[in-house]
Amino acid sequence: MMLAATTVQAKEEVRVSGLTWPGFGFWYIAIAKDLAPDLDLGYQKIEDPYESFNMVAADQMDVVSGTPEFTPVGVERGLPIKVVALANLSNGSDKIVGAPGIETAADLKGKEVAVVEGGLAQIFMAMWLERNDVPFDAVTYRNIIADDAFAAMIGGSIAASEFWEPYGTNTLKALPGSSILAQSDDPYWLERAVVADGLYMSDTFINERRDVAVQTMKAFYDAIQWWIDNPMEGNEIIADGMGMSISDVEMVLGKDGSRLDGGLYVYDFLEAARFCGAAPGEPPFGQTNGQVEAYWELISSWWVKFNLIEEVKPADTGVECSLHKELYDAGYRG
């Protein structure tokens, strides 16, 4: 008697990296719930985004979850990456906190402020200063982040800092007299999508492994929808994967799946596709269909001011919306 031969198809490996941040934790849900059975998804926590992008350039990483402002800089440096989605929007999780005695933007003239230089924190700070009639270059920017910025605020060496959670709340608790000067849930920032997270893919992944790239994006949005339907268990999965406390995850993502009871608004598939201009309809918070191009121009113009890039290039040099379009045209809705 002869046994029929069976062939087991190997799963496609997909290498994903990103910060230790609840907003990127949906990858852990996709893995834990096997939402992409044909993919071997792996998430690697890498705290320096430049390391992730260098790994993409060396073909050692396929997908990067990170803030999208690096894209114009990456394009000018010739890195083979595209931002393929705006993944979520800071809805209160980012704050500009002033030290005791700092109550207005004018109080910061000539003083030092902590930001991630070359990051959205720097743009957020600069835009806030100019919105309050203070030139963006009237302060000295210091590249101090997270725990170090917290310590610098407590020690009195900086006058203000841009924080994400839980560092902003921790600073306010630990430093009597400190105060919130600006917060990302202001409609001004939400409408312009100033402080957000994005999803990157390598050019090789998009062009040479197209089917896998589409499956990967679908898995990401399937995980978001799963979390919306199961927020308590989803937060537990994210906390375990990220090595964070449930309370810190809930502070960022919320508890009820509404996406409005935490400090981060997570875009579902249709909202992200609309922001990209790949599906009809309007994104949330007064944003407009296809706003990704205006977002690209906004970020790029600030990097010209800060001398990180020489000119504002066309959005399609760094933005790839065709994956959303392919999923939408195939009938996917999230």
Q: How far apart are CA 278 and CA 283, in angstroms?
A: 11
DSSP class of 14: E
Q: Model confidence over 171-196: pLDDT tens digits?
A: 999 999 999 999 999 999 999 999 99
Q: How far is it between the farthest Cα atoms of the chain? A: 88
Closest Cα partner for 321 from 198, 196, 204?
198
Question: How would residue 4 be classed by pLDDT, with cut points 50, 70 and 90?
Answer: very low
Q: Model confidence over 298-331: pLDDT tens digits?
A: 999 999 999 999 999 999 999 999 999 999 999 9
Closest Cα partner for 84 from 219, 201, 179, 240?
201
pLDDT at 8: 54
Residue 27 has pLDDT above 80, yes or no: yes
User: SS3 of 158, please?
Assistant: coil
Question: How would residue 2 be classed by pLDDT, with cut points 50, 70 and 90?
Answer: very low
Amino acid symbol at 265? Y
Alpha helices (H) along 112-265: 120-131, 146-155, 167-174, 187-192, 203-208, 210-229, 231-242, 246-253
pLDDT at 145: 83
Question: How would residue 5 be classed by pLDDT, with cut points 50, 70 and 90?
Answer: very low
Residue 316 class from Cβ within 10 Å (0-12 exposed, 13-18 middle, 19+ buried)?
Answer: exposed
Q: Which has more confidence, 115 or 146? A: 115
Contact 145, 171 (CB under 8 A): no
Q: Model confidence over 120-144: pLDDT tens digits?
A: 999 999 999 999 999 999 999 999 9
Q: Model confidence over 203-236: pLDDT tens digits?
A: 999 999 999 999 999 999 999 999 999 999 999 9
User: SS3 of 1, please?
Assistant: coil
Please give the span between the terminal C-alpha atoms of the chain, in angstroms, as a whole number: 48
Closest Cα partner for 62 from 207, 196, 197?
207
Cα–Cα distances (Å) from 185 to 115, 196, 326, in that order, read: 19, 12, 32
Peptide bond into 68 cis (omega under 30): no
Residue 243 has pLDDT above 70, yes or no: yes
Question: How would residue 146 be classed by pLDDT, with cut points 50, 70 and 90?
Answer: confident
Residue with tokens 């310590």: 151
Residue 11 has pLDDT above 80, yes or no: yes
Q: Torsion angle of alpha carbons 51, 202, 66, 15, nearest 10°?
A: -70
Question: How would residue 106 be classed by pLDDT, with cut points 50, 70 and 90?
Answer: very high
pLDDT at 147: 82
Percent of the chain topping pLDDT 90: 94
Q: Tell me the pTM.
A: 0.93
Residue 1 has pLDDT above 50, yes or no: no
- Range from 165-169, 189-193, 278-282 carrying the lowest mean pLDDT: 165-169
Closest Cα partner for 102 from 184, 169, 195, 172?
172
- DSSP state letters, 231-300: HHHHHHHHHHHHT--HHHHHHHH-SSSSSSSSSEEEP-HHHHHHHHTSSSS--STT--TTTHHHHHHHHH
Contact 158, 114 (CB under 8 A): yes
pLDDT at 6: 42
Closest Cα partner for 320 from 279, 268, 276?
276
